[in-house]
Amino acid sequence: MKNKTFYYRFLIVLISIVLYMSFLCPSISSGDSGELAASAHILGIPHPPGYPFYMILGRLFSMIFPGNPALGMNILSSIFAILSLLLVFQILLDFGIKPQIAFIPSILLSIHPLFLQFATITEVYTITSFFFLLELLLLKRDNYLLLSYVVGISFLIHPMLWIIGVYSLYKILKRDYRLIIYSFVGISVILYLPIRSISNPLIDWGNPETLRGVISHILRFEYYREVKVPFTFLIIYKEFLIWLKITLRDTNFLLLLLPFAIKSVKKEYLLLLLAYSLPLALFLHFKPNELNLEANRVFFLPQLILILILSTFALKRIKMKFLPIVGTFILTVFFILGYQERLFQRSWTSFDYIKTILEQTEIDKRSWRPVILSRGDALTFPLLYIEVLTERIKVKVNTPGLRIHTEDTPDYSTYWNEDFSVYDRMLFSKEAHELKPWNFRIRQGRKDILEDELYIKALTRYAVYLYKRGETTLSLSILKEAINVSWLNSHKITVASAYDEIKYYEQSVNIEKEILKKEPDYPGIYHSLYYSHLQMGKIDEAENFLAEGLLIQDDKNLLNDAGAYFAEKGFTNTAFLFFLDGLFKGAPSSGANIRKLIKNEILIENIRD
């Protein structure tokens, strides 16, 4: 029996190594990858809760490839993914499941889209899965001494582990309250946060130097302050639908197998499954839309793992001669799901992005480091990585919890504003420059919110670049490709803005109307429709969208639009009130428009006098 289980373990390791190394990300990927890799490389403090244990491990693995530390951390993710698969296999063996049956869910998890997505990039979710499964195994074996220590460490791995951690602490205290001392030993890694923060590393999110700062960072208070989703019956109902979509999408037909596990496992597994399902969705309390459906999907990874383990008990009822057929069918279904999410390929999007930025900002004066004003994870985190790695740029960031180079004057920006209004490859500049050759490579990455956001922004800015070079036909074909790969409204509005930039307003309007039909309350959609119709000369339709938007949406840009509209009509007082409201709500141009309005009124009064 031992030789047989060794054989299956060897197969799990071999298959997963081949799989993960074949599609291992060559450097950073989208999302938090750049920030986490940069933070680990300098032993900094990333976004809450800070991930101190992961930072220490990440630093060790980043040293394997000094010129590309993210690659070492990608390998770290793969290692924890493989260890997680082995834990699934072992837990099922401990439940008396035959090794040939336990092998199927272990391999299924390895290719499941939600797991595979994070097994080849720098992220915290495979190490989270490992500690979740390790706690399950230790609970099953009643190893409370080691469990106590693991709970202490896992509390700082990811908040997803807090639920099983609280339950484990209850079991530990019930068995022997003195064992709790080992949890304090494990949680002592928290000292990393104030010790490193005091040294003021470049990435020092939240500056957790004090006890209050550490607690605030660990408990993620920064994020709770930003939550403005009301607790209404309609919102809760929509959150339920979002959770249901996530569950059905990721578990597929495995849910049908759950009834077979009710009498076969300890009730604690069913209680944990209950806690990691709908109650977790209500606790997260995210705005129920398509964007948050994708963004919050990963937080239900423990739910997926529990359903995967529990559904395995149904396979015990299958005759052994049919097991290969059933196993092949199950694995094929989830392999197809992974293929549809474009996970069986390497991710080059962020690598190409940072290479473009370095080429764009490269000049002869090596002592000069251009300052890039940035916001948004998709564009900012890769820039932080190349600043830490190359020291050839400075990234100016001023967001809640993270302030870097705020005293420096920026030379470029990753987004449009009044000061940076000129497209310059992947950045915006203050003045128009000579269009230098751009060796842009069109190769699509994985299906991921931030991955595709970065890819689509690259496509649209390349299209604008081509248009300015006079290559209109190629520019339009690139924008057509961009809209074809856009699957979220946030992606589509980026393409619509690019059409506006090259003055193809009709195409922009078609995209915006599609968004309005699909998601009537999409932020900024009425502003976009008003602007596009105004540029097309369709004044009546533009006025209708302006009026309707002011009634439906609380949009600062619409307030600015309304101010400009009434100023042009000569209703100065009304225009002033709209501009003032827009200024208080952060509309970019409202302050300048108020100054222009006042200056114009003064000139008129002087002429009258």
Residues 146 and 201 in one domain: yes
- Among 350-354, 411-415, 435-439, 474-478, which stretch is predicted with the lowest mean pLDDT? 435-439
586 vs 453, residue with greater confidence = 453
Is residue 503 exposed (0-12), middle (13-18) or buried (19+ Cβ within 10 Å)? exposed
pLDDT tens, 308-352? 999 998 888 888 888 888 888 888 988 998 888 888 888 888 888
Residue 217 above 50 pLDDT? Answer: yes
Same domain, 86 and 203: yes
Residue 532 located in a structural domain = no
Domain hosting 308: range is 227-316
Tally the domains of the chain.
2
- Do 282 and 219 fall into the same domain? no
Question: Which DSSP letter does residue 609 get?
Answer: -
266 and 219 part of one domain: no
| pLDDT score, position 389 | 92
3-class DSSP assignment, residue 332: helix
Residues 22 and 126 in one domain: yes
The answer to whether 347 and 451 are in contact (CB under 8 A) is yes
For residue 148, give the nearest of 178, 107, 103 by alpha carbon.
Answer: 178
- Residue 286 in any domain: the answer is yes
Domain annotation covers residue 484: no
User: Given 253, 281, 316, which residue is the final one in a domain?
Assistant: 316
CA gap 46, 73 in Å, rounded: 15
pLDDT of residue 368: 75
Selected residue with higher pLDDT from 269 and 162:
162
- Token readout for 479 is 């924008």
Domain membership flag for residue 395: no
pLDDT at 608 over 60: no
The mean pLDDT of 485-502, rounded to a whole number, is 92
Residues 301 and 335 in one domain: no
Q: Are residues 43 and 105 in the same domain?
A: yes
Q: What integer pLDDT is reported at residue 365 of this predicted model?
A: 53
pLDDT-based confidence at 218, cuts 50/70/90?
A: very high
Q: What is the largest CA-CA distance in the chain?
A: 103
How many CA atoms within 13 Å lie on the side-chain side of 218?
Answer: 23
Domain match, 141 and 184 both: yes
Q: Are residues 247 and 220 in the same domain?
A: no
Residue range 62-78: mean pLDDT, rounded: 94
Tell me: do 23 and 163 sit in the same domain.
yes
Let me know whether 99 and 196 are in one domain.
yes
Instruction: Write out the H or E segment, with its range, that includes residue 184.
Output: helix 181-187
* Within a domain: 376: no
For residues 309 and 324, membership in a common domain is answered with no
pLDDT for residue 361: 85
pLDDT of residue 570 exceeding 90, the answer is no
Write down the pTM of the prediction. 0.90
Instruction: Say if 478 falls within a structural domain.
Output: no
**Amino acid 604: pLDDT:** 42
Q: Is residue 247 part of a domain?
A: yes
Alpha helices in 199-275 (DSSP H): 211-218, 221-226, 233-251, 267-275
Structure tokens that stand for 428 in this block: 């915006």
Assess if residue 418 is contained within a domain: no
